[in-house]
Amino acid sequence: MDYLTQQFISVSNRLRKELTMLRQSIDSFRDQEERQYQEDQARSRLEQPPIRIQAEIQEPPAIASDKHSRENRNFGVQVALTLATLLTFVAAAIYAGIAKRQLCIFERQQATMDNTFKQVQEQTTLLTKQARVMIAVLRPTPGINPESAEVEIDLANDGRLPASDIRGDIEITKRMLPNDNAGNTIGHWVFYLPDLISNPATGPQSQKRLIYLSKMDVERIKQTQLTVRMQGEISYLNGLDADRKSIPVCYELVWVQTANGQVLDSGAATCQELPARLKMALDVKRVRDSIH
């Protein structure tokens, strides 16, 4: 409920109370006049002897004048009451018109504000998307190649701004399959790169070789008896935010080949997907080996 509506209701209630009090005053005045008139009539009958009226009854001039005065007063009160009621309805109509006009103005202003707010939101969202497209986004790609006995990691910047202050902390462990969950640490690599610019056309911008595997480990990997895990974190500044962005690193080797040397699956899988991926490849290996 707006301010004008509240004021209109308040004025209407005030006018209603005043009209009620006016009616009560009029009724009280009429009662008093009627009592006075009855008392005057009674007093007049007591003071004067009964008069035999033979032709017609004429009121004394004083009583007629008093009655005429009362009628004039009553008429004036009725006129005042009528005018007050009429003014009340006029005031109500004026307040209603003002309230309706103010409501229309408010609705137009509200629509304008909503439209402006929507445009600001759209522009903010667009600018945020454009900024997010431009920021540096590092993408690590691990590589574990039993043929060359190399464990390596490639870093690519998929954004448009250069990544800076790149820091990595990665631990390399080897586990005997299928039950060695703890593994044996064979290398721990901490590296730093000052920056890495974006150039998607040329592929990964930095390649780091982590460690070389022994020939025995390579043979065990080919026989699916050994797997190598790379686990750690890479952090950097993306060129827009002040806080460092962190990338968790957890990859493990998948290498399954048949008895005749056909490789069914190879490369690095995330630590979460490794068990299912390895099981699927081993199931295919058993089928292939049974055929041959």
pLDDT 10s digits, 200-247:
566 556 666 677 888 888 888 888 888 888 899 999 998 888 889 999
**Cis preceding-peptide flag for 178 (omega within 30 of 0):** yes
95 and 216 in one domain?
no
Task: Please state, in angstroms and rounded to a whole number, the distance separating the CA atoms of residues 134 and 170.
Answer: 28
Least Cα distance to 71 among 39, 28, 40, 29 occurs for 29
Q: What is the pLDDT of residue 233?
A: 94
Is pLDDT of 120 > 90?
Answer: no
Q: What is the pLDDT of residue 232?
A: 93
Least Cα distance to 34 among 59, 75, 66 occurs for 66
CA atoms within 13 A on the CB side of 227: 26
State how far the alpha carbon of 209 is from the alpha carbons of 54, 144, 200, in Å: 146, 10, 21
Q: Which residues contact 139 (CB under 8 A, 6 or more apart)?
A: 155, 156, 157, 158
Q: What is the pLDDT of residue 146?
A: 66
Which residues make beta-bridge pairs with 144? 151
Question: What does pLDDT average to over the chain?
Answer: 77
Is pLDDT of 41 > 60?
Answer: yes
Task: Please state, in angstroms and rounded to a whole number, the distance separating the CA atoms of residues 253 and 270.
Answer: 9
The lowest-confidence range among 38-52, 106-120, 160-174, 278-292 is 38-52
Is pLDDT of 6 > 90?
Answer: no
163 and 267 in one domain?
yes
Task: Please state, in angstroms and rounded to a whole number, the distance separating the CA atoms of residues 272 and 259.
Answer: 27
Q: What is the pLDDT of residue 10?
A: 72
CA atoms within 13 A on the CB side of 10: 7
285 and 142 in one domain?
yes
Q: What is the pLDDT of residue 39?
A: 77
Task: Please state, in angstroms and rounded to a whole number, the distance separating the CA atoms of residues 83 and 111.
Answer: 42
279 and 156 in one domain?
yes
| Mean pLDDT, rounded, for 4-26 | 70
Confidence of residue 269 (pLDDT cuts 50, 70, 90): confident
Least Cα distance to 240 among 139, 152, 178, 163 occurs for 163
82 and 102 in one domain?
yes
| Mean pLDDT, rounded, for 35-62 | 63
Q: What is the pLDDT of residue 205?
A: 64
285 and 159 in one domain?
yes
Residue with the larger pLDDT of the pair 174 and 54 = 174
Confidence of residue 131 (pLDDT cuts 50, 70, 90): low
Reduce the DSSP state of residue 91 to 3 states and report it: helix
Picking from 115, 132, 149, the residue at the C-terminal end of a domain is 132
Task: Please state, in angstroms and rounded to a whole number, the distance separating the CA atoms of residues 22 and 84.
Answer: 10
Is pLDDT of 285 > 70?
Answer: yes
123 and 267 in one domain?
no
76 and 162 in one domain?
no
| Mean pLDDT, rounded, for 108-124 | 76
Task: Please state, in angstroms and rounded to a whole number, the distance separating the CA atoms of residues 54 and 59.
Answer: 15
216 and 176 in one domain?
yes
Confidence of residue 169 (pLDDT cuts 50, 70, 90): very high
The total number of structural domains in the chain stands at 2
Burial class (CB in 10 A: 0-12, 13-18, 19+), 70: middle
Residue with the larger pLDDT of the pair 168 and 44 = 168
238 and 118 in one domain?
no
Is pLDDT of 45 > 60?
Answer: yes
Residue-range definition of the domain harbouring residue 243:
138-291
Picking from 113, 132, 151, the residue at the C-terminal end of a domain is 132
Percent of the chain with pLDDT over 70: 77
286 and 143 in one domain?
yes
Q: What is the pLDDT of residue 237?
A: 92
Q: What is the pLDDT of residue 246?
A: 93
The lowest-confidence range among 29-38, 97-106, 242-251 is 29-38
Where is 254: in which H helix or E strand? strand 245-257
Q: What is the pLDDT of residue 165?
A: 92
* Beta strands, E only, 125-225: 138-145, 150-157, 163-176, 184-196, 206-212
Q: What is the pLDDT of residue 235?
A: 94
Picking from 132, 153, 185, the residue at the C-terminal end of a domain is 132
CB atoms within 10 A of CB 219: 13
54 and 196 in one domain?
no
Is pLDDT of 1 > 70?
Answer: no
